Amino acid sequence: MTGKEPTSPAVTARDSVQIDAAGLTTQQLNDLLRRAVADGIKKIELRNVCGQRYIGTDLGQPVEIDIYGTPGNDLGSFMDGPRIRVHGNAQDGCGNTMNHGEIVVYGHAGDITGLSARDGKIFVRDYVGYRAAIHMKEYQERKPALVIGGTAQDFLGEYMAGGTVIVLGMELKPGEKHRARFIGTGMHGGAIYLRGEVEKYQLGKEVGVKELDDNDRAALGSLVGEFARHFSYEAEALLQGKFIKLVPLYLRPYGRLYAYG
């Protein structure tokens, strides 16, 4: 794909630029972003984004990026610091192997949202696709979080090794159950907080269900509070209703798989 010749970003204020992404290739757009950040820009507004991938990947600064339109796959992959707001929907691989930063999606996100993320936060107002938070992990003070306003599809938290996932189930009608199956299959770390009903068969065989304790409620309150502020909800209302906590039953789910001969 060859794009149009990129035009210079319009400087909208000191430290801020607006970039028209219409017709730009992924590489052209990310090049403009790299240069803007190198020039000391702290706030970037991207207009007319349409499928460009890897936005925010190689910036390594706590720069703020507002995206209007539809960013492509791997938004914020390997990202280390930026704060991204998507005024639209995110596609697959949002926050893939993210190291640090924040992604707020004013819409829904696709499959493998937060795959292998090690730190940072992802807030999705609506729903996410399959295998969200797969192999999310944590290390010392680095704890990633994924908060989903709606629901998730199958294999949520598969192979999860750390971090926190919250699913608020806001789009569920009264009495309607979550539809995801194989939730937490192979999970061996971290926690998933789920508001709304799930049947036992929907859970992976490596997860157990727990009641929330005070620490859980504090963690939940803090992240749901942030979620509510981003999307102008009442945190109190979101925290009502029954939450369950899904935790790994075993730290070593496959420890008994092998014969050491």
Partner 1 sequence: MKTYLPNRFIVERDPARCIQCEVCVNQCSFDVNYRDADEDEVRSREENCVGCHRCVLFCPTRALNIRRTPLDYRENANWRPEIIEDIIRQAESGGILLTGMGTDKAHPIYWDRLVLNASQVTNPSIDPLREPMELRTYLGRKPDSLTVEPGSLALKTKLAPQVAIEVPILFSALSYGAVSINVHKSLARAATEMGTLFNTGEGGLHRKLYKYGANTICQVASGRFGVHPDYLNVGRILEIKIGQGAKPGIGGHLPGEKVSAEVAATRMIPKGTDALSPAPQHDIYSIEDLAQLISALKEATNYTKPVSVKIAAVHNAAAIASGIARAGADIIALDGIRGATGAAPKIIRDNVGIPIELAIAAVDTRLRQEGIRNQVSLIAAGGIRNSGDVIKAIALGADAVYIGTAALVALGCTVCQQCHTGKCAWGICTSDLRLTKRINPDIGAQRLVNLLRGWSLEIKEMLGGMGVNALESLRGNRLHLRGVGLTDTELEILGVKMAGA
Q: Which residues, listed in sequence order, are joined to residue 102 by a DSSP beta bridge?
A: 83, 121
Pairing of strands 10-13, 16-20: antiparallel
142 binds partner 1 (CB under 8 A): yes
- Nearer Cβ to partner 1, position 93 or 196? 93
Instruction: Tell me whether residue 10 or residue 254 sits nearer to partner 1 (CB atom).
Output: 254
Give the span between the Cα atoms of 59 and 61, in whole angstroms. 6
222, containing H or E segment: helix 214-231
Q: What is the largest CA-CA distance in the chain?
A: 68
Residue 105: its H or E element: strand 100-105
Q: Which of residues 165-224 bind partner 1 (CB under 8 A)?
A: 186, 188-189
The answer to whether residues 209 and 193 touch, using CB atoms and an 8 Å cutoff, is: no
Number of residues that bind partner 1 (CB under 8 A): 48
Q: Is residue 13 near partner 1 by the rule CB under 8 A?
A: no
- The answer to whether residue 131 forms part of the interface with partner 1 (CB under 8 A) is yes
Q: Does residue 257 touch partner 1 according to CB under 8 A? A: yes
- For partner 1, the binding residues in 34-93 under the rule CB under 8 A are 34, 53-54, 57-58, 60, 73-74, 77-78, 80, 92-93
Measured from the CB atom, the residue of 47 and 142 that comes closer to partner 1 is 142
Q: Least distance to partner 1 from the beta carbon of 216, Å?
A: 19
Q: Which of 21, 36, 67, 134 binds partner 1 (CB under 8 A)?
A: 134
* Phi-psi region at 51: left, alpha or beta (left = phi > 0; alpha = psi -120 to 50): left
Q: Do 163 and 146 contact (CB within 8 A), yes or no?
A: yes
Whole-number Å distance between alpha carbons of 45 and 189? 37
Q: How far apart are CB 66 and partner 1 at their closest, in Å?
A: 20
Which span sits near partner 1 by CB under 8 A: 2-10, 144-152, 158-166, 222-230?
A: 158-166
Residue 237 DSSP one-character state: H
d(CA 60, CA 256): 41
Of 14 and 252, nearer to partner 1 (C-beta) is 252
Dihedrals φ, ψ of 96, to 5°? -55, 120
Token reading at 45: 């507004």
Tell me: does residue 151 bind partner 1 (CB under 8 A): no
For partner 1, the closer of residues 208 and 254 by Cβ is 254
Residues that bind partner 1 (CB under 8 A): 26-27, 30, 34, 53-54, 57-58, 60, 73-74, 77-78, 80, 92-93, 96-97, 99, 112, 115-116, 118, 131, 134-135, 137-139, 142, 158-159, 161-162, 186, 188-189, 251-261
